[in-house]
Chains A and B, each alone.
Chain A
Amino acid sequence: MKDMAIDIPVEPPAELKSLFIPIPPEYVEDAYNKDEYLVLVGPQHPGSGHMRIILRLKGDIIMDAIPDPGYVHRSMEKLAENRLYIQNIPLLERPSIMDPGNYNLGYVRVIEKAMDIEVPERARYIRTILAELGRIGTHLYDAGILAVFLGHTTGFMWPFGLRELICESFLRATGTRITSSFIVPGGIRWDLDEKVLDFINKSTYTLEKRLKGFERIFIKNPAVISRLRDVGILNRREAIEYGVVGPFLRASGVEYDVRRVEPYEAYPELDWDVPIAEDGDAYSRFLVRVEEIYQSISIIRQAISDMPGGPVMSEDLIGRIKEKDKVSRDIRGYFYRIFSKLKLPSGEYTVLTEAARGTLLYSIVSDGESNVPYRVRIITPGWAYLRGFMESLKGSRVSDLQAIYGSFGYFPPEADR
């Protein structure tokens, strides 16, 4: 093919200048001189989310993939430095709004760790339920996106129909469909009554039944299997090297789950498995997450049946209120008085949480005097596995881009923060 290559100086296409492509012109020239070409996928493309991927193609094969993230960079780390600790709860749940339980939990646990707040047992169980509901919801969301990327619209609609159950559960439990901001330092905002827990319990059975149908039409569909198997392989060594997280790491054979490694909330008291796959291809990344949905369903059922009684707010915090001001046992009555003056002791506090798509790291640096954080560092799972995602693209075909994209469930608002 060397003879075929163009020998004249190549002028990079005009769109590369006008679209603020972050790649140097030499790279473009080099690609065109080697008989390769660049294709920009996104951000306005039916098969990309809120990001651009610059593909360097030779024929049908992807030689190189350069990400262009930041289209949804909403400057959260800076904003968090300017707000009270309690105001940051809704802010720091926005990276991935379909997974509010885990994102709230991660941030709130930093504050609890720094201030040594003991959380009552009932609150820990309810937090676990919310986190697992978010996990199911996110995995269903990603399954739907994967399906529509493969052109399977039914596989998009059914998980989104099932997600309505999750949204309804959140609605009944917390009052909103997705952005609940329900978990606060020291516990949760209010107690869930039996009716809500019963609804969540029943909806898990519906979910399980409907998932079987989804399995028939999408998961076990031979055409789907042929699209996903042996595509975008990350072996164990590569997955570790590029710092892949969560279910995508477990699909490559590494048994790492923060819920096991550094247990929190009610997880050590419940009985569940960590699904592992060995292949590291797109299909095992998908199957691991499907299996996690079943595990989450089991966790929710156990948590509901083992639910202890008692308060849902820590006495450490409630105790700061004078006896005559106590209007109710939950936090609604005196929210501001407890939380507006919250101050963390000086130092750095780092807490890991297993969000739906992987390890979520919140790191807060406090100076010990201000009631706003000095520095907040958020590493979302999407940002952590972006490198692995790009590496797994190399050597695949153009059509595999969407299959791999969907198999990673890459959600740019989460990665860009």
Chain B
Amino acid sequence: MVTIFGLTISEIMNIMVKEGVSIPLIQPLIDFLLKIPIIQYVVALILWKPVFAVLILPGLGGLMISLLFIIWFERKLTARIQWRMGPLEVSRPIAGLMQPMADGMRYLFQEVIVHRGAHKPYFVQLPILAFIPILLPIVFIPAGSIYGINSPYSLIITVALLALIPVTIIAIGWASNSKFAYIGSVREAFMYFAYEIPFMIMVLGMIIIYGTADMATIVEKQGIWGAFLNPFAFLGILITTAMATSRLPFEIAEADQEIAFGPFVEYSGILFGLVMTLAYEKMYIMGLIVSVLFLGGGGGPAIPLLGDLSPAIWLFIKALAVMMVMAFLRSIYPRYRLDQALRIGWNSLISLSLLSLVVAVIVRFMGGV
């Protein structure tokens, strides 16, 4: 008898099925699959809530879908504003939705050049290492009853892990050994401090309002959305999201016309595909956090047919909405200069975040939520 952690396989199966995601819409299919030998283990594992949270929604699957969608949406929206069509011919019936897919395929089969001056091991492994701080926060973000790890400090851990992403970008720039990459890395480092401190102050404000750093509790407590409880923090966090994910008014570290994609200048092939999507992936995580803190997380009218999946879908839609707002910025703003962006970060954003902290304390003393 094979045992894992003192449990037999059938006991593990029981746990997984009991804690599995229940979706009434496809329940007959799941029941059928659970009767087939071997496959039942796979299905049960995927549907087990912690694994489901990491792999499907809001985890890797959601990440991929949102990535493909938001790149298409951004190009399409920008094109519509600019009096043109945007990607179209690749798949006419669905308005060119396959375009990011085609670009991804092209990158995948393109040569990866590691140039002579690069620090080769880091140059190759850093784009992949950068996925760790991207994927780990997802474990802590609850979508209704679907979550990976439930912790009273989940919000703090998520924010701390997010703060690691710029470090990998700086390291990428260093490993590239190119002047534009160096300039880009230094800019990234400057920007990092300019947005990270106000961001943390504003998150602290929200923790004060809700009285907890547990995201599941925060979602439960939001009778009124956080955006209405503390609009200053909401506005501030939207701006920091734009800064943190290098959206256009603050696309300074990888300004392509100035320093030719900064830290990513030397990357090619699939490695460039990985580093280029870093900002979008970060934007997805930030979108999830904004939805949890301000937009009621997985809350929303429950859809009975989807069962446990319903809050996850709501969370996903809200995160996408935040990303779509960010995508809109591209077509109306030029980019700021580094010193101007830093001034915005250290003057306006810090003031805004302190104001939101005051509002948070007031809300707390008025009775909180």
Q: Which residue numbers of A lie inside 8 Å of B, CB to CB?
A: 37, 39, 45-47, 60, 147-155, 157-158, 161, 217-218, 221, 223-224, 226-227, 397-402
Contact = CB atoms under 8 A, between A and B. Distances in A.
A153 B340 CA distance: 20
B92 interface: no
A152 B334 contact: yes
A401 B81 contact: no
Interface string B171-190: 00000000110010000000
Interface size class of B (residues with CB under 8 A): 20 to 34
A227 B332 contact: no
B83 interface: yes
A39 B259 CA distance: 10
Closest 3 CB pairs of A and B: A157-B82, A47-B257, A150-B334
Given A151-B257, A221-B333, 9 more contacts: A151-B335, A154-B81, A154-B332, A221-B334, A223-B334, A227-B336, A227-B337, A398-B258, A400-B337
B102 to A, nearest CB: 21
Contact of B258 (A37, A152, A155, A399): A399
A161 B81 CA distance: 12
B179 A39 contact: yes
Given A46-B257, A158-B82, A217-B332, A151 B251 contact: yes
A147 B260 CA distance: 16
Interface of B: 78, 81-84, 179-180, 183, 248-249, 251-252, 255-260, 330-340
A217 B179 CA distance: 33
A150 B81 CA distance: 18
A224 B334 contact: yes
B249 A223 contact: yes
Nearest to B251: A151
A399 B331 contact: no
A348 B78 CA distance: 54
B78 A399 contact: no
Interface majority SS on A: helix, strand, loop or mixed?
helix
A59 to B, nearest CB: 9
Contacts of B260: 45-47
A153 B179 contact: no
B340 A226 contact: yes
A154 B331 contact: yes
5 contacts: A39-B183, A152-B333, A223-B335, A398-B183, A402-B258
Contacts of B81: 154
A47 B249 contact: no
Nearest to B249: A223
A133 to B, nearest CB: 21
A408 B166 CA distance: 35
A37 B78 CA distance: 37
Nearest to B182: A37
Contacts of A148: 257
A15 to B, nearest CB: 10
B250 to A, nearest CB: 10
B333 A153 contact: no
Contacts of B338: 60, 397, 399
A158 B331 CA distance: 11
Contacts of B249: 223
Nearest to B252: A399
B83 A402 contact: no
A229 to B, nearest CB: 11
B88 to A, nearest CB: 16
B83 A399 contact: no
A45 B331 CA distance: 22
Nearest to B180: A39
A153 B337 contact: no
A151 B259 CA distance: 12
B257 A149 contact: yes
A150 B259 CA distance: 12
Contact of B255 (A60, A147, A399): A399
A227 B334 contact: yes
B331 A47 contact: no
Contacts of B252: 399
B83 A151 contact: no
Contacts of B336: 223, 226-227
Contacts of B340: 226-227
Given A154-B78, A157-B82, A397-B339, A147 B258 contact: no
Q: Which of B251, B256, B337 has the most CB of A within 10 A?
A: B337
Contacts of B83: 157-158, 161
B366 to A, nearest CB: 36
A163 to B, nearest CB: 12
A398 B78 contact: no
